[in-house]
Amino acid sequence: MTDVAPGLDERPDTSPSALQALRGNALYFNVAGSGPTFPVAQLAAERFRTWLNEVGMFGHVGYSAYNAALDATRADLAAAIGDPAGAQRISLAQSATDGLNTLVAGLAIPERSLILTTAEEHGSALYPLRRRAELGDRLREIPWDRDADRFLEEVRRGMQGGARALLISLVSCKTGDVLPVREACRLARDAGAISIVDAAQALGQIPVDVVELGADAVVTLGHKWLHGPLATGGFWVRDLTLFTPTRLGWRSRLDLPKGSKDYNPNATRFEAGTVDAGAFVGLRQTLLVHRLLGPWVGQRVRALRARLIDRVRELPFAIRSTPGAPTGIVVVEPRSGDVSELVTRMWDEERMVVKLIDEPGIAQAIRISFWALHDDAQMDRLAAAFARQLAVGVS
């Protein structure tokens, strides 16, 4: 037994076959829900967990390594989102949902404020925002119709109407479109409003740069496009005074003298209690993999998207997503038939996982989300499977 915690694999095999976690003949097109964890990241997490358990997590050796692993994760995550010197601005979280709830509940704005968001947001953002509305704030959900100018004009009107906060996704989970976040955040900043960006569907497939975005807070996670372990995530906060911690624990005051009533002088003030440090070691490993892969991921995703768009245009689908968007999310709406039944048949009869989009006020649709580990033949197989099942639905 050694007192030194196991480190990362600094030279992992980054070939598609080595990074592929899935086995068998099924095809998985729900990376926007969760990307299967890279085997090398899973191994790094398990190796650290085993060692930490053997030395005792809260023993002298284990406790020091536990905190060091979390510190290193904050530094790596800050670098991954464009703030390499910003570890002190990173708070770790269990997911984007966890981070969004912390930030939305902690918004330092007057009572009964107007908050702007978009109709493209995930429930992880909409539910805590709607809860604030139930408690007295006013919430305005701006629709997205692929017209950036019209969308930004609605944001501008909201700011002129006294909005105090804006929450917006960088990449929509409902269409895969990249929203005009930088411009929207600028409008918020000029009006003195607080901006929160949900980057859960962005980091790992398109660049995320918090400085360029100009946001006050950016939330992300590990288990989607990064292909990291579950229960990992975090958020970046530009100015700690814009958000009030709403949950407190021993980690909220870890850096302060015993008995102090102050919060940590950094973003760890938003962290509460014990977490799985091994999972965050796995997150560090997957961030390292992405640094090695570099621009190949984005290039491959765009090529696969172009191929998929060509194939689905031959099918009786309306495409809800902007065809030229640089993401691995394509949402299609069958022109007829039971959409939910089609999704079920795609699994039962074709062994292919696609996601049913079932939102109030709009027609049901199907979300196809793929990553750079997919290949051209798989896109063709997916389109052929849709064609077969659509024919079954018509007969």
Q: Is 168 found in the same domain as 121?
A: yes
CATH label of the domain that carries residue 387: 3.90.1150.10
Based on the fold, state whether residues 317 and 249 are members of the same structural domain: no
- pLDDT of 32 > 80? The answer is yes
Residue 195 lies in a domain: yes
For residue 232, pLDDT over 80 is answered with yes
Percent above pLDDT 70 for the chain: 98
* Domain match, 118 and 262 both: yes
What local confidence, expressed as pLDDT, does residue 394 receive? 56
Of 233, 257, 290, the one marking the end of a domain is: 290
The answer to whether 277 and 55 have CB atoms below 8 angstroms apart is: no
Q: Is 29 part of a structural domain of the chain?
A: no
Greater confidence (249 vs 317) lies with 317
Nearest-angstrom CA–CA distance, 269 and 244: 9
Encode pLDDT of 332-377 as tens digits: 999 988 999 999 999 999 999 999 999 888 899 999 999 999 999 9
Q: Return the SS3 of 217.
A: strand
Domain that residue 330 falls in: 296-394
If pLDDT is split at 50, 70 and 90, which confidence band does 27 have? Answer: very high
In a domain, 36, yes or no: no
In the chain, % of residues over pLDDT 90: 91
**Residue 245 identity:** P
Q: What is the rounded distance in angstroms from the CA atom of residue 336 to the CA atom of residue 318?
A: 10
- Do 236 and 333 lie in a common domain? no
Q: Do 332 and 265 lie in a common domain? A: no
What are the tokens at 78?
Answer: 């800050």
Shared domain for 377 and 233, answered yes or no, is: no
Instruction: Calculate Rg over the CA atoms of the chain.
Output: 22
The helices-and-strands tally (H runs, E runs) of the chain is 12, 13
pLDDT band, very low/low/confident/very high, at 393 (cuts 50, 70, 90): low
Instruction: Give 140's strand partners.
Output: 116
Residue at 41 is within a domain = no
Helices (H), the chain: 16-19, 39-55, 60-80, 96-105, 123-134, 148-160, 181-190, 210-213, 277-293, 296-312, 339-348, 376-394
Mean pLDDT of the chain: 95
pLDDT score of 35 more than 60:
yes
265-316: per-residue pLDDT in tens? 999 999 999 999 999 999 999 999 999 999 999 999 999 999 999 999 999 9
Give 122's contacts (C-beta < 8 A, 6+ positions apart): 96, 169, 173, 198, 200
Predicted confidence band of residue 260 (pLDDT cuts 50, 70, 90): confident
Please indicate, yes or no, whether residues 317 and 188 belong to a single structural domain of this protein. Answer: no
**pLDDT digit string, tens, across residues 145-166:** 999 999 999 999 999 999 999 9
The answer to whether residue 21 is domain-embedded is no
Of 234, 267, 290, the residue that ends a domain is: 290
Q: What pLDDT sits at residue 340?
A: 97
Question: Do 221 and 80 touch, CB atoms closer than 8 A?
Answer: no
The neighbouring-strand residues paired with 329 are 369
Q: What is the pLDDT of residue 2?
A: 85
For residue 251, what pLDDT band results from cuts at 50, 70 and 90? confident
The pLDDT of residue 257 is 72
Identify whether residues 254 and 306 lie together within a single domain.
Answer: no
Closest Cα to residue 247, out of 103, 350, 135?
103
Residue 382 lies in a domain: yes
* 163 and 272 inside one domain: yes
Residues 330, 368 contacting (CB under 8 angstroms): yes
C-alpha span between 238 and 355 (Å, rounded): 35
What is the strand order of the sheet 217-221 is part of?
90-93, 233-237, 217-221, 194-198, 163-169, 114-118, 138-142
pLDDT in tens, 101-133: 999 999 999 999 999 999 999 999 999 999 999
Pairwise CA distance, residues 205 & 79, whole Å: 16
At residue 82, the pLDDT reads 98
Q: Which residues contact 203 (CB under 8 A, 6 or more apart)?
A: 80, 81, 220, 221, 225, 226
Q: How many residues belong to the chain?
A: 395
Whether 301 and 334 share a structural domain:
yes
Q: What are the φ and ψ backbone dihedral angles of 163, each rounded to 5 degrees?
A: -60, 140
Q: What amino acid is encoded at 304 in this protein?
A: L
* pLDDT above 80 (res 187): yes
Tally of domains within the chain: 2
Query: What is the Cα–Cα distance from 150 to 147, expressed in whole angstroms?
Result: 5
If asked whether residues 328 and 354 sit together in one domain, one would say yes
Task: Determine contact, residues 65/52, Cβ cutoff 8 Å.
Answer: yes
What single letter denotes the amino acid at residue 137? D
